[in-house]
Amino acid sequence: MKTCLITGGAGFIGCEVTKIIENAFDNIIIVDCLHPQIHASQKIPPRLSSKANLIIADVTDPVAWDEVLSKWKPDLVLHLAAETGTGQSLTESSRHTQVNVVGTSQMLDAMVRQNAFPRKIVLASSRAIYGEGKWINSEGVAYYPGQRSNEQLANGEWNFYGSKFLPMNSTDNIPMPTSIYGVTKLAQEQIISCWCKSFDVNYSILRLQNVYGPGQSLINSYTGIVSLFVRLAKEKQIIPLYEDGMMLRDFVFITDVARAISEVLVNDTTNGKILDIGSGYGATIKEIAHLIAERYGAPRPEVCGKYRNGDVRHAQADISYTLDNMDWKPVVSLDEGMNLLCNWIDEELGR
Ligand SMILES: NC(=O)c1ccc[n+]([C@@H]2O[C@H](COP(=O)([O-])OP(=O)(O)OC[C@H]3O[C@@H](n4cnc5c(N)ncnc54)[C@H](O)[C@@H]3O)[C@@H](O)[C@H]2O)c1
């Protein structure tokens, strides 16, 4: 009997993964608290595979973990449960740290107590661990500019003067998070990798870029810039562009991400590796906003002069190492993906 346990499996990414892996396992166990910021009701999400067994529990609760792991000895664990709001993590840092860091260590401690060592743990990490990443100056020298200061942002100095951003990649970049969320995701990576090495458990870490697509929470105002833009455009409101709107983001479609995760779960060639999962294409926020405004006949997006602490200027993955090391590539184009997402939002909000 093969069992896969997914923490946070009732969320956006988890539900999509359960649909892909439902026939590969005898049991799919979901540990999820159905966080009210993401789930409008405490009901089983309709996108979750009917083969999945949802246990409503908090990953920070050791008693809940003992109950789950005394009953189930998972072969594979996919760790998705997390507080995910980047901006929110600066004002609610204890909550983010508690769930993301302590929630991870509670899970591992319970595995030891219950002698429930899986064969492999897969962690959904984030591009947030890179922070501003690596840039190259006009003399061709690569460097890490670090976090933009309040003064820089207040003066509208969005870029690092005379420098060019280099796409992020786990084999080359040193992690330098600029948000508490990023710090907690890096801590998760390090906790999982050293624990797994100590107990001979395999692991893989996936650093996800901006995942978008049908199924993303429409009630969580702290994540999902695309769904926020769609809601504004549908109401014929002007989409406000932060900074100068020219920030790059790598939008990767949900089905591409779910395929990558399911491949990593079952394929041991990715063991011990940190892989960047993105489309490899950097779209400007302005480009995305215009695409959405045009679709809904909304006014042209406008730069509103605002910015957000903790946001990075650019994020785009260099996925060459990932493509070389796993049987996966992203296949959904930005146009196609945006269309699918907008069609889904239209249906959901029309209901
Ligand atoms: N969606 C993205 O763009 C993106 C990008 C980078 C990394 N990630 C990572 O991928 C993972 C999944 O993200 P998602 O987009 O599916 O998020 P999501 O918010 O849709 O899903 C997270 C799930 O975790 C559950 N959860 C939250 N706190 C919990 C707790 N204390 N105990 C048990 N369950 C809890 C929520 O109820 C939710 O169902 C996260 O770890 C996130 O950091 C996501």
Specify the higher pLDDT residue, 74 or 38: 74
Residue 350 has pLDDT above 80, yes or no: no
Structure tokens at 305: 């002069």
Per-residue pLDDT tens over the stretch 98-110: 999 999 999 999 9
Q: How far is the CA of 236 from the centre of ligand 1 (A)?
A: 30
Among protein residues, the one whose CA lies closest to atom 39 of ligand 1: 11
Q: What is the pTM of this model?
A: 0.97
Burial of 250 (0-12, 13-18, 19+ CB in 10 A): buried
- Structural domains of the chain, ranges and CATH numbers in brackets: 3-350 (3.40.50.720)
Residue 261 and residue 256: Cα distance in Å, rounded? 9
Q: Is the CB of 30 under 6 A from ligand 1?
A: no
Share of the chain above pLDDT 90, in %: 89
Work out which ligand 1 atom sits closest to the CA atom of 13. Answer: 16
Which residue do the tokens 């801590």 mark? 187
Per-residue pLDDT tens over the stretch 289-335: 999 999 999 999 999 989 988 789 999 999 999 999 999 999 999 99
Residue 351 has pLDDT above 60, yes or no: no
What is the pLDDT at residue 210? 95
What is the mean predicted confidence (pLDDT) over 219-243? 88
CB 66 within 8 A of CB 114: yes
Ligand 1 pocket mutation, candidates 5, 6, 13, 78, criterion most atoms within 8 A of CB: 13
The amino acid sitting at 319 is I
Per-residue pLDDT tens over the stretch 64-79: 999 999 999 999 999 9
Residue 238 has pLDDT above 90, yes or no: yes
Q: What average pLDDT does the structure give for the chain?
A: 95
Q: Is the CB of 211 under 6 A from ligand 1?
A: yes
CB 106 within 8 A of CB 60: yes
Distance of CA 166 to the CA centre of its chain: 20
Residue 222 has pLDDT above 70, yes or no: no
Per-residue pLDDT tens over the stretch 169-190: 999 999 999 999 999 999 999 9
Q: How far is the CA of 284 from the centre of ligand 1 (A)?
A: 24
Question: What positions carry a catalytic annotation?
Answer: 181
Helix axes 225-234, 285-296, angle to 10 degrees: 30
What is the pLDDT at residue 7? 98
Buried b (16+ CB within 10 A) or exposed e, 278-306: bbbbbbbbbbbbbbbbeebebeebeeeee
* Confidence at 349, pLDDT banded by 50, 70, 90: confident
What is the pLDDT at residue 133? 98
Per-residue pLDDT tens over the stretch 39-70: 988 899 999 999 999 999 999 999 999 999 99
Q: Is the CB of 11 under 6 A from ligand 1?
A: yes
Classify residue 306 by its DSSP letter: -
Which DSSP string do the residues of 78-97 spell out, in sequence order? Answer: EE------TTHHHHSHHHHH
H or E element: which one contains 251? strand 251-253
Q: How far is the CA of 175 from the centre of ligand 1 (A)?
A: 21
